[in-house]
Amino acid sequence: MPLIQAPIKDIQFISEQVLDLDSHYKKLPKHNDMDAETFETIVDEAAKFLYEYAGPLNRNSDEQGCSIKDGHVTTPDGFVELYKNYCESGWASLDGNPEFDGQGLPYWLSVIMGELNSYFCPGWSNYAGLTHGVKEMIEHHGNEEMKQMFLAKLTTGEWAGTMCLTEPHCGTDLGLLNTAAQPIGDDMYALNGTKIFITSGDHDLTDNIIHLVLARLPDAPKGTKGISLFAVPKILDSERNNAWPASIEHKMGLHGSATCVMNFDGAKGYLVGKPNKGLNLMFSMMNGARLNTGIQGLSVSSASYLGALEYAKDRLQMRSLTGAKYPDKVADPIIVHPDVRKMLLTQKSISEGCRVLSYFTTQQIEITKYSDNEEDRARADAMVVILTPIVKAFITETALEVTNLGIQVYGGHGYIAEHGMEQLHRDAKIFTLYEGTTGIQALDLLGRKIMQYNHGSLGPIADVVYEFIDNNSDNPYSSELKKYMQQWQEITQTVMKKSMQNMDEMGAASVDYLMYSGYVLLAYFWAQTYQSAEKGGRFGQSFYNGKMKTCEFYYKRILPRADLHVETMLSGSESLMQMTEDEF
């Protein structure tokens, strides 16, 4: 796949016109000086930097991958120089606290930076992204000594970070973890155990790595209530700590990202927060982590669409069914064929709709972070808890479809590595697994968020959509959107009532419920996009016409998928649960 510029125009349009960036920041005292022009300049410069430095490394990083020798991991050629330039140019510290050498810019810019990192080189993107999460954890929950020791170097990227959660026997069920932490005096602990699937567990980009490790203290209760969190440096007091990579995983994709098995053999670390509250602390990071994973899915979807679009305009094959459209050429470009257009429009409507969904969620997270209005913060938080599992699971599941279509547009050439489309599909798969599988996200959405916390209500997200419908009755999609919103509320009540009789009903319906929710939310965001595009603006009429026609395609060709999800989620759990194990 040729190196294609990032979709800056779409990023700008959504930020400035659809989601009204200027009005958003005027309500946030910490960033009320941020305007669209400054925002756009930063995003544009970031895209130029990554186009020049990260994009050219993508294919080689996939082919070369990472290697390990004597407990030291080496990243693909060019990553060390890229990381050095990235940090020295200030991209690592965008939204960092100025007290710790950060630039104090809005979180949204950091999210878009993550999107661009994944767009140009998915295998590279995790190194910077994980460090950001570790920095936030220590800033919010570390003691003063820990902050002074770690935060400045994490903020600027001089040091990196990881999250060491799962173990070979427990997967997502962290209540089963065995890694032990023993007090050794001076507020230090010795950790012993093995962690798996540790992204960026070791690498040669930084001199030090701060591992956030879940472990049990000697007197800890069993299960999830007995888990504590520790910060374990790779280098401690100028010496190598006993936290070593035993191996690196051989993965389906994302080969440039070092995924390690980590052994902690008496490794020294510091307790973060209170004893036995480690899982609570990790959940405080989940909104950002799930959003970032969804953003990675969005990035590869966008890259696949733009690559397929460029190819479809150039590839000559057959004549249009209604007669030659380019009679001066030996054949017409494949973009004239209805099936190719269906694939391209599916890619476009999903990837661009998901961009609005993820940016809207980012705005709500910013309100929880920066607003001085308690009511606004509570409302935004109520939306974030509903949106984050949808962002994570829906965007990453549809990324598999979008990247698969990218291969299909290329035909046989899409299956060949040199064109890059198959890499995007392989890279996309892990995003459905990071931060909990789609099934885990679906149970979180329906079981914890909708049924337990909201008692069957969709919360303020429904208020936002109905407000749009009421204020835009002339929008050609408002009435259909209203029908789906009413249906969403009705099936929520239906599934909840069935689940109260039999909890297997919730498990059987949950993934369909999540996907249904995603399609309905994209219907709202496309109606909102149509409303903004209809007004026109500085991006050119063809751009706005394209948005309005894509909205029509979404409502006619994609949104009807929601009805199938209703039919399957209401079909009950019996067809799933009636078979005995030996009948499989």
For 344-360, the pLDDT digits (tens) are 999 999 999 999 999 99
Cα–Cα distance, 464 to 250 (Å, whole number): 45
Residues 109, 97 within the same domain: yes
Beta-bridge partners for 199: 259
Residues 372, 250 within the same domain: no
pLDDT, tens digit, 9 for 90 and up, residues 152-163: 999 999 999 999
**Percent of the chain whose pLDDT exceeds 90:** 93
Residues 393, 462 within the same domain: no
Residues 18, 152 within the same domain: yes
Q: Find the helix packing angle between 478-501 and 561-569, rounded to 10°.
A: 20
Is 328 among the domain residues?
A: yes
Cα–Cα distance, 516 to 478 (Å, whole number): 18
Cα–Cα distance, 47 to 248 (Å, whole number): 30
Could you give the number of structural domains in the chain? Answer: 4
Is 240 among the domain residues?
A: yes
CB 277, CB 228: distance < 8 Å:
yes
Give residue for tokens 């510029």.
5
Residues 25, 145 within the same domain: yes
CATH number at residue 381: 1.20.140.10
Domain boundary among 156, 172, 187: 156
pLDDT, tens digit, 9 for 90 and up, residues 259-288: 999 999 999 999 999 999 998 898 777 778
CATH number at residue 46: 1.10.540.10
**Percent of the chain whose pLDDT exceeds 70:** 100
Residues 62, 145 within the same domain: yes
Residues 197, 148 within the same domain: no
Domain boundary among 245, 276, 307: 276
Name the pTM for this structure: 0.96
CATH number at residue 200: 2.40.110.20
Cβ neighbors of 380 (< 8 A, separation 6 or more) are 364, 365, 367, 368, 371
Q: Which of 249, 435, 574, 583 is catalytic?
A: 435
pLDDT, tens digit, 9 for 90 and up, residues 3-62: 999 999 999 999 999 999 999 999 999 999 999 999 999 999 999 999 999 999 999 999
Cα–Cα distance, 387 to 381 (Å, whole number): 10
Residues 289, 431 within the same domain: yes
CB 541, CB 466: distance < 8 Å:
no
Is 583 among the domain residues?
A: no
Please state, rounded to an integer, the average pLDDT across all residues of the chain. 96
10 Å CB burial of residue 68 (0-12, 13-18, 19+) is: middle
- Residue 184 has φ and ψ, to the nearest 5°, of -125, 15
Identity of the residue numbered 178:
N
Residues 404, 325 within the same domain: yes
Which whole-number Å values give the CA distances from 581 to 509, 573, 576, 578, 584, in the listed order?
21, 16, 11, 10, 6
Residues 38, 99 within the same domain: yes
Residues 289, 427 within the same domain: yes
Beta-bridge partners for 161: 210
Say if residue 172's pLDDT is above 80: no
Identity of the residue numbered 79:
F
> What letter does residue 187 receive in the DSSP assignment?
T
- What helix, strand, coil percent values describe the chain, rounded to 5? 60, 10, 25
Q: Print the domain residue range for 260.
A: 160-276
Say if residue 430's pLDDT is above 70: yes
Domain boundary among 156, 191, 216: 156
pLDDT, tens digit, 9 for 90 and up, residues 378-405: 999 999 999 999 999 999 999 999 999 9
- 172 vs 234, which has greater pLDDT? 234
Known catalytic residue: 435? yes
Residues 332, 256 within the same domain: no
Positive or negative CA dihedral for 60, 64, 65, 68?
Answer: negative
User: Which pLDDT value is given to residue 1?
Assistant: 54
Is 447 among the domain residues?
A: no
Is 33 among the domain residues?
A: yes
